[in-house]
Chains A and B, each alone.
Chain A
Amino acid sequence: MKSIIIKCLAVLFLVATSFGRLFSQETKMTLNFTVEDSVKKCNVSVTANDTAVKEVEVKLYVKRLYSLLPIGKAAVTDETGNATFDFPNDIPADLNGKLLVIAKVEDPAAEVSKEVNWGVPRAEIAPLERSLAASREKAPYYLMIVSNLIIIGIWGTLLFVVWEVYRKRKPNYSK
């Protein structure tokens, strides 16, 4: 019984170390974009020592401002070491529609990223639009007119009052 357990442990050790050896060698990932029948597809290929790595879980992401947005569910590589994802058509992008797509394998950690022009370009904000949220130079006209009228009215009255008092001083008071 004891010898059977030892043999099983030895087999498990050999299997584990062989997998370990496989991934300790440099894992390479490549990312390709294709369009088939108007469907955008993203193909990830995983190799180690020029050998296809099969049955490895691959996850696909798009880079956002602070974090990564997962695209679809994780896919497993086939016998040729390829995993294919359908890419959505509605991901917002920068002004040029460019997206940074990232594919990742978790164990061992490996990733590849590539830019693709598949995003929905962000609409450019009209540069001359005046609003409460706009910059100093783009303040709404109504706000500028009303605030300046109030400021001029109050400061004008204040200066008028000071001038009135100064005007009626004794002519030679400073002498």
Chain B
Amino acid sequence: MSSKNIELNQKTTYETFTQEEYMEMKEELLRPVQKIGTIGKLWIVFLVLVCCAGVYAYYVQETRSKYVTVSLRDYTMWGVYISNFVFFVALSLIGVLMSAVLKLTHFEWYRPLSRIAEVIAVAAIMLAGVSIVAAMGRPDRLYYLVIHGRIQSPIIWDIIVILTYISTSLVLLFIPLIPSLATCQNHLHNKPKWQMKMYKMLSFGWEGTPEQWKILKRCIKILTVMVIPLGISIHTVTAWLFATTLRAEWDSTNFGVYFVSGAFLLGVAAMILAVAIFRKAYNLEKYLTPMHFDKLGRALVLMSLIYIYFNVNEYLVPAYKMSGLHKNHLLDLFVGGDAPLYWSVVFMGMIMPATLPLIPAMRKPLPLTIIASVVFIAAWFKRYLIVIPGLSHPYLPIQDVPASWKHYSPSLVEMTIVAATFAAMMLIVTLFSRFFPIISVWEVAEGKLEGKDEIINYK
């Protein structure tokens, strides 16, 4: 035995788990990739069917009169497509908060969550792009936007930052995946040839040498630092799309932080839901523990309080003045036709998550998952309330407008496309988790070593 191996064996006596336990961990985390059950297959078929319905609805929208297929009119020219776009951009910030921020601030409990957060971020930002194309009416407008777009326009900033964020998120998802790809190649069996070839090709010949680990960790660190300002930029620029438009209800200097804080709240709620689903569906109770729910419950309270603060700034300050421009919109939300939805969102989407998880029993997996589901739905309607009611009160109201201009309710075509974007997002996450380990084996193992050894000693 060489002196290096003796030294390594001496080191391993201080480990918190053995090589055998490491192999067992690999087996458990690769199980969802190794075998897909009937329910798993049915779930994928269901999602594919909803996506197909969305594609057909888009075909109908593009081939028939939009006056018939969608409810968008001169007043409400931005409907559910744009509110859905804002929702997905907000959701994509999950990667920033649940992976990058926790990683850089050394909250060790991030380890099993980081890959889940990153894949949701990638899927969400892709579907945000799809929502924008659906809202454009004609897909070729995207091409004209690129060749004729002006750098002075916030729409171009949005396109640039979305493309950059998609690329960075994909690289940030891929680089920590490289050791896992080698693991897949070495440990999976009875898989199609193309799948094994894909693992081999994407793993870049990973051998786990100290130099490769050094480069990998350095690259992850650079990307983790870079993705935080990028994520904040993407949602701030989305907020500027509204704030730079001449509409009273969007005329706010608070909009950037208001959007980002709302995105962080949505990110925590989405993380709780994803953890609960993967935990149950893939039997990952050993890795996604009640401790994670407890921490996420506390994070939910913090993010809700921050979001409430920005909501107070956004609504109560203009309401105190009640100037002519804001009056119609604010009264409509507070006591008018949109009041039931507005107050439901305030209570369900902000006050409830800020208070209930303060009780320790509410931070257990089941109650917290229910709270997170409600927050998730309320977050979608919150974006609806930001985009749509304000458009009903234009700066220059026109007399005798058709009734369809004054009241917007999304058409069947619009709702089918929105449903399809959700199905597509879940399909991307599901398929990813069926081809790659959804929990990073090496990151979890590294966390268990608690700095006593290097992960490179484990094969």
| A residues adjacent to B (C-beta < 8 A) | 132-136, 139-140, 143-144, 147, 151, 154-155, 157-158, 160-162, 164-174
Contact = CB atoms under 8 A, between A and B. Distances in A.
B215 A154 contact: no
B155 interface: no
A136 B149 contact: yes
Please classify the interface of chain B as helix (H, G, I), strand (E, B), loop, or mixed, using the class held by over half of its residues: helix
Given A165-B215, A169-B204, A170-B204, A135 B164 contact: no
Contacts of A172: 205
A136 B150 CA distance: 4
Contacts of A154: 164, 168, 226, 230
A37 B306 CA distance: 73
B271 to A, nearest CB: 25
Given A164-B215, A168-B215, A172-B205, A133 B171 contact: no
A26 to B, nearest CB: 38
Interface in B148-188: 148-152, 157, 160, 164, 167-168, 171, 175, 178
Contacts of B226: 154, 157-158
A171 B151 CA distance: 42
A165 B222 CA distance: 12
Given A157-B222, A170-B206, A162 B151 contact: no
Interface residues of B, number: 30
A135 B219 contact: no
Interface string B389-404: 0000000000000000
Nearest to B175: A165
A161 B223 contact: yes
A161 B171 contact: yes
B211 A155 contact: no
Contacts of A158: 164, 167-168, 171, 223, 226
Given A158-B167, A169-B204, A170-B204, A151 B211 contact: no
B178 A165 contact: yes
B158 to A, nearest CB: 13
Nearest to B172: A161
Contacts of B148: 136
A164 B221 CA distance: 13
Contacts of A170: 204-207
A161 B204 contact: no
Nearest to A169: B204
Given A164-B219, A165-B215, A168-B211, A147 B151 contact: yes
Given A136-B148, A139-B152, A151 B160 contact: yes
